[in-house]
């Protein structure tokens, strides 16, 4: 893709964003307080959307792409459990 470029920090950023989203989703799923669940669900969704947006800007090797696909799949599943459409 023409707009993808070498951005070494990009892979680290994407990993961090996806892991953060997964962490927020776990907290949301385990929350007994509705406000806490709502806040953490929103943060998980924001992390997912941000990672998706930046994914297009990073050139990845096949192995990196596979790794991130797995993380996206995990986060997508968690967001679906939280009632999000992804």
CA-derived radius of gyration, the chain: 14
**DSSP per-residue letters across 3-68:** T-B--HHHHHHHHHHHHHHHHHHHHHHH-SSHHHHHHHHHHHHHHHHHHHHHHTTB---HHHHHHH
**Can you give the pLDDT at residue 2?**
44
What single-letter DSSP state applies at residue 85?
-
**Can you give the pLDDT at residue 56?**
87
**pLDDT tens digits in sequence order for the chain, 86 residues long:** 445 666 778 999 999 999 999 999 999 999 999 999 999 999 999 999 999 999 988 989 999 999 999 999 999 999 999 999 99
**Can you give the pLDDT at residue 8?**
72
Q: Whole domain around residue 14: which residue ranges? A: 8-79
**Can you give the pLDDT at residue 18?**
98
In a domain, 1, yes or no: no
In a domain, 64, yes or no: yes
Q: How many domains does the chain have?
A: 1
In a domain, 3, yes or no: no
In a domain, 85, yes or no: no
The model's pTM: 0.89
In a domain, 44, yes or no: yes
In a domain, 74, yes or no: yes
In a domain, 27, yes or no: yes
In a domain, 59, yes or no: yes
* Residue whose entry in the numeric block shows the structure tokens 């968690």: 78
**Can you give the pLDDT at residue 1?**
43
């Amino acid at each position: 893709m023409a707009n993808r470029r070498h951005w070494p920090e990009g892979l680290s950023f994407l990993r961090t964003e996806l892991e953060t989203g997964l962490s927020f989703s776990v907290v949301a799923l385990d929350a007994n307080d509705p406000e806490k669940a709502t806040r953490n669900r929103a943060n998980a969704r924001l992390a997912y959307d941000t990672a998706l947006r930046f994914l297009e800007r990073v050139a990845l090797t096949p192995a990196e792409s596979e790794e991130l696909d797995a993380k996206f799949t995990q986060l997508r599943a968690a967001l679906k459990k939280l009632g999000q459409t992804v």
